[in-house]
Amino acid sequence: MDHVTPSDYPSAELRSLDTLWFQVGGTVCNLACSHCFISCSPTNHTHEFMTLKQVETHLEDAVALGVKDYYFTGGEPFLNPEMEDILAATLRVGPATVLTNGLLLDSERCQRLGALAGSTEYSLDLRISIDGYSAEANDPIRGEGTFERILTGATRAAAAGLNPVMTVTEVHRDNVTSEGRQRFFETLRDRGIERPRLKILPVFQIGAETERSGAYESWQQLAKDDVPEDRWDHLQCSTSRMATDQGVWVCPILVNEPQGRMGQRLADTLDSFPLSHQACWTCHVHGVSCRT
Amino acid sequence: MSQRIPEDLQKKGLRRRANADVDKLTAHRGMATWGETLVPLGDFRQAVRKSGKELTSAERLVAVKDYLEASSDDTLIEGPFSKIIVFGGVYSNSFALHALLDEAQSRRPDAVYCLGDLGGFGPNPETIWPLLTESAVRSIQGNYEESLAGGRDDCNCGYADPRDNHFAEISYSYTARNCSSEFKRWMGGLPKRRRVRVGQRELLFIHGSPRRINEFLFFSSTSVPFLETLLDQERCDGILCTHTGLHWHRRLPSGRDVINVGVIGRPANDGRTEVWYSVLNDEGDRLSVEFLPLAYDYQSLASAMRREGLPDVFVETITSGWWTTCLEILPARERAASRF
């Protein structure tokens, strides 16, 4: 692994910039989940909140490039005091999805978000993270008492007309079986969410997850000759970029790698990117898509 | 490739975490995570500043222009027509196709177009073939035709959810079993795009999107700047697509049109048993776009589906007008309008 250069790895072209991500909550979070792939916590300021002004600059660039949709993550996006203004600005130019832990979804906020969703022709999708269908499964990962608080937030969102997509990682094997999914749906229906929505994501063995489950093996890495038939169309980096307070990164996964930063503005980041990180291997093997 | 943690180890992890939690809350004071390592925040920021490019304003303009370069397309142009009927997604619904062709007889358009997905969902897929050829419907390939003709083992519908995919598999394996190789070969011979002139306007007909045969263009999840860019790149005055099952029309700020013509194979998740098709009329300086409901003998379709052993949940959609499957792909707004 010493003295590697980008040419040792296959390279993923940006085929079309369909999705623009915003690390709008930085790496600041009101939780410190044990599987967080970028180790977010209340004191992690690796990336800071983005300002409305920073987001607007990128939105302007994105409109010129024909971006199709926008995703917001963190950290916890709703810790950002400008988050609702940022969403309003975004929904003027395209659909928005927010990845949240649900803890800050109080009734007033849900009402405001519901009104915002009703005032635009684009979809406002909330994705709420949860790690199991019981407190016993969820709380050890996300924190004591979070299971109830997450479901309370999800229920308020649903009541305000924002039927959230509950997003689960494969941390627990139970989550991905059809019985596990059924239990999720039942749990959500019991809370009055009539049309429960669920999305399952693989776990990245980077960040806090390395302490929880062990890091990558050395063979879990893409080699120059690994180019599949469809090229890299299944990778997010072929259709998206990630903006943070410090510039534009190749993808949401690599924001803790300075080498993942491709430039200051979107126009600086339209080139291809070497798939040199081990997380690229996970994306390739699992065909990771953060889409609903 | 997540590492599965055995239950006993998970319990051990809990005890460790009690202390680890405190560490985690304070570990980043003045520090940043660089990969797996904590480094002083200043060092991370400095490395970030050195990484990537910073183009000049002039270079950025060139980069964007290169990125937006128009694609070339040597598809022959059909027409010009003054009135056409366009529909999508037959899904083996010969009853609706019969009704559509009757409508076409009375409305007398210059041409009738089908934007693909001939099979799936409904019964006896081969029955629609003579209807299409004898009435000279001009079709393009959808992902269904591409998959059946290419011998793929799935429909390549583009779903991401296991429940959506479960029902898509049932539809596809039934359809693949019940289509002759001649029919599949014919599907493979259909073009994947057509360019059609209606009055002064040149319209591009594709199945999903001009980029991907299975791309879902829903009204609420497809931005206007994205659509304007597609039209620029394709150098056309309008795009007609299907694939999502839901019809919509946007007249863009540029005055151009994007029309999802919907499907005639199953209802539009609106609680009505009718299905929808579109009629385009040249009105000189403007293009008129009309969506029309199509009533058909859905009870006979439901009986035929039952006879073929297709899932009850499929039949329920036909008789109720509400989707019961493949709902997870819907964006928030479209899902909010569903019953399930």
Q: Provide the percentage of residues in chain B whose pLDDT is more than 90.
A: 83
The pLDDT value given to residue B2: 30
Is the model's pLDDT at B21 over the cut of 80?
A: no
pLDDT tens string B43-74 = 999 999 999 999 999 999 999 999 999 888 99
* B contact residues 208-247, partner A, Cβ 8 Å cutoff: 211, 218-226, 228-230
Is the model's pLDDT at A4 over the cut of 60?
A: no
Answer whether B26 sits within 8 Å of A181, measured CB to CB. Answer: no
pLDDT tens string A67-87 = 999 999 999 999 999 999 999
Domain that holds residue A44: 6-286
Where would I find the H helices in B27-142?
Answer: 41-50, 57-67, 94-107, 128-134
Overall domain count for chain A: 1
Point out the residue among A16, A62, A258 whose CB comes nearest to the CB of B44: A258
Of the listed ranges A111-115, B132-136, B163-167, B235-239, the least confidently predicted one is B163-167
Answer whether A267 sits within 8 Å of B55, measured CB to CB. Answer: yes
- Please name the CATH architecture into which domain B77-336 falls: 4-Layer Sandwich (3.60)
Helix B298-307 / helix B94-107 crossing angle, nearest 10 deg:
150
Structure tokens at A43: 């004191």
Shortest alpha-carbon distance between residue B61 and chain A (Å): 8
Q: Which residues of A touch B335 (CB under 8 A)?
A: 163, 195, 197
Whole-complex ipTM? 0.91
A225 in a structural domain: yes
Q: Which residues of B touch A94 (CB under 8 A)?
A: 223-226
Q: What b/e readout covers B59-75, taking b as 16+ CB neighbours within 10 angstroms?
A: ebeebbeebeeeeeeee
Could you count the other beta carbons within 10 Å of the beta carbon of residue A11?
17
Separation of alpha carbons A62 and B227, rounded Å: 13
Q: Which residues of B touch A264 (CB under 8 A)?
A: 52, 54
Answer whether A66 sits within 8 Å of B230, measured CB to CB. Answer: yes
Residue A287: pLDDT band with limits 50, 70, 90: low
3-state secondary structure (DSSP) of residue A29: coil
pLDDT tens string B78-123 = 999 999 999 999 999 999 999 999 999 999 999 999 999 999 999 9
Residue bearing the bigger pLDDT, A256 or A202: A256
Which residue of A63, A97, A122 to mutate against B (max B Cβ within 10 Å)? A122
DSSP-derived letter for residue B69 is P
Give the residue-averaged pLDDT of B155-178.
Answer: 90
Residue B15: pLDDT band with limits 50, 70, 90: very low
Which residue of B48, B65, B66 to mutate against A (max A Cβ within 10 Å)? B48
Answer whether A264 sits within 8 Å of B224, measured CB to CB. Answer: no
Residue bearing the bigger pLDDT, B298 or B4: B298
Shortest alpha-carbon distance between residue B313 and chain A (Å): 16
Which residue of A14, A18, A44, A119 to mutate against B (max B Cβ within 10 Å)? A44
**Tally of residues, chain A:** 292
The pLDDT value given to residue B16: 36
Answer whether B55 sits within 8 Å of A18, measured CB to CB. Answer: no
CATH 3.60.21.10 domain range(s) in chain B: 77-336
The pLDDT value given to residue B223: 98
Residue in A with minimal Cα distance to B217: A68
- What's chain B's average pLDDT? 92
DSSP string, A159-181: HTT--PEEEEETTSHHHHSHHHH
Residue bearing the bigger pLDDT, B26 or A238: A238
Give the residue-averaged pLDDT of B278-306.
Answer: 97
Shortest alpha-carbon distance between residue A123 and chain B (Å): 5
A292 in a structural domain: no
**CA–CA distance from B77 to each of B73, B198, B205, B213 (Å)?**
11, 10, 11, 20
Separation of alpha carbons B53 and B69, rounded Å: 22
- Please state the φ and ψ torsions of residue B237, each to the nearest 5 degrees: -95, -5
Of the listed ranges B3-12, B240-249, B320-329, the least confidently predicted one is B3-12
The pLDDT value given to residue A285: 76
The pLDDT value given to residue A240: 96
Give the residue-averaged pLDDT of A173-199.
Answer: 83
Q: Which residues of A touch B160 (CB under 8 A)?
A: 199, 289, 291-292
Separation of alpha carbons A256 and A241, rounded Å: 14
Is the model's pLDDT at A232 over the cut of 70?
A: no
Is the model's pLDDT at B12 over the cut of 50?
A: no
Of the listed ranges A37-46, A276-285, B136-145, the least confidently predicted one is A276-285
Shortest alpha-carbon distance between residue A207 and chain B (Å): 5
A156 in a structural domain: yes
3-state secondary structure (DSSP) of residue B197: strand
Residue A292: pLDDT band with limits 50, 70, 90: low
User: Chains A and B: how many Cβ contacts under 8 Å?
Assistant: 206
A81 in a structural domain: yes
Contacts of B134 (CB under 8 A, 6+ apart): none
Question: Are the beta carbons of B89 and B242 closer than 8 angstroms?
Answer: yes
Is B56 an interface residue toward A (CB < 8 Å)? no
pLDDT tens string A261-284 = 999 999 999 999 999 888 888 787
Residue A234: pLDDT band with limits 50, 70, 90: confident
Give the residue-averaged pLDDT of B204-211.
Answer: 97
Answer whether A46 sits within 8 Å of B41, measured CB to CB. Answer: yes
Residue in B with minimal Cα distance to A254: B35
* B contact residues 262-281, partner A, Cβ 8 Å cutoff: none
Residue A259: pLDDT band with limits 50, 70, 90: very high
| Torsion over CA: A105, A183, A31, A28 (sign) | negative
Across A207-221, A227-241, A269-283, B269-283, the highest mean pLDDT is recorded for B269-283
Q: Which residues of A touch B331 (CB under 8 A)?
A: 95, 123, 125, 292
Q: What b/e readout covers B236-258, taking b as 16+ CB neighbours within 10 angstroms?
A: bbbbbbbbbbbbbbbeeeeebbb
- What's chain A's average pLDDT? 88
Answer whether A261 sits within 8 Å of B48, measured CB to CB. Answer: yes
Q: Which residues of A touch B211 (CB under 8 A)?
A: 16
Answer whether B28 sits within 8 Å of A162, measured CB to CB. Answer: no
- Please state the φ and ψ torsions of residue B282, each to the nearest 5 degrees: -80, 125
Structure tokens at B171: 């539809």
The pLDDT value given to residue B1: 28
Which residue of B26, B37, B49, B221 to mutate against A (max A Cβ within 10 Å)? B221
Residue carrying the six token digits 């394996």:
B173
The pLDDT value given to residue B6: 37
Give the residue-averaged pLDDT of A122-151.
Answer: 92
Shortest alpha-carbon distance between residue A53 and chain B (Å): 19
The pLDDT value given to residue A212: 61
Is the model's pLDDT at B17 over the cut of 70?
A: no
Is B34 an interface residue toward A (CB < 8 Å)? yes
Residue A168: pLDDT band with limits 50, 70, 90: confident
The pLDDT value given to residue A200: 78
Is B185 an interface residue toward A (CB < 8 Å)? no
Shortest alpha-carbon distance between residue B105 and chain A (Å): 36
CATH number at residue A60: 3.20.20.70
Shortest alpha-carbon distance between residue B338 and chain A (Å): 9
